C-alpha cells in the first residue's frame, strides 16, 4: 500500500517543480573588472616608466565580464607615493590624491579604455 501512495506523490512533486522552474527568469548581473593596466597608449608595446618620469601615460582597461549592462560606471584611481597627479588651472599648479573618470554604460562583454594619468 505504501508503494502505491508514494509513486503519485513523487510524480506530483516532479510536475510541480518543472512548472515552477519553467516560469523562473534569471536576472543578469553586471561585473566590471580592471582587465589590463599598462604604461603608454599601446598595450602591445607598453612604455617603460621609471622613478622621476613625468607625463607618462597610464592606461587602464575596464571590462564588463557580467551578463548585463553596467550602468553609470565611474572609476577612481587612488594615488599613493611615489605616484602623483598634478594639473594646472590658470597657471596655478594643483595636485590630487585620486583621479575619477566617468566610463558611462558598459555592455556585457565590452571593454572601455581610460587613460588615467599623464
Q: Is 13 left (phi over 0), alpha (psi -120 to 50) or beta?
A: alpha
Chunk the chain into consecutive blocks of 10 residues (it has 118) and report each block's average pLDDT, rounded to whole numbers. 48 43 64 91 90 86 92 90 83 88 91 72
> CB–CB of 93/54 below 8 Å?
no
The residue with cell 503519485 is 8
Burial of 70 (0-12, 13-18, 19+ CB in 10 A): buried
pTM of the shown model:
0.67
Closest CA to 115 of 61, 48, 72, 63: 61
pLDDT of residue 24: 53
53 to each of 45, 94, 113, how far by Cα in Å?
A: 18, 18, 22
How many whole angstroms separate alpha carbon 43 and alpha carbon 117? 15
pLDDT of residue 112: 87
pLDDT of residue 28: 79
Amino acid at each position: 500500500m505504501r508503494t502505491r501512495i508514494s509513486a503519485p506523490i513523487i510524480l506530483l512533486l516532479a510536475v510541480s517543480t518543472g512548472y515552477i522552474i519553467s516560469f523562473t527568469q534569471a536576472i543578469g548581473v553586471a561585473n566590471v573588472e580592471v582587465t589590463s593596466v599598462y604604461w603608454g597608449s599601446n598595450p602591445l608595446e607598453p612604455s617603460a616608466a621609471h622613478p622621476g618620469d613625468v607625463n607618462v601615460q597610464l592606461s587602464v582597461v575596464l571590462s564588463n565580464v557580467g551578463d548585463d549592462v553596467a550602468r553609470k560606471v565611474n572609476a577612481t584611481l587612488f594615488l599613493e607615493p611615489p605616484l602623483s597627479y598634478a594639473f594646472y588651472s590658470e597657471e596655478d599648479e594643483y595636485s590630487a590624491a585620486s583621479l575619477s573618470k566617468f566610463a558611462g554604460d558598459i555592455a556585457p562583454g565590452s571593454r572601455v579604455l581610460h587613460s588615467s594619468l599623464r
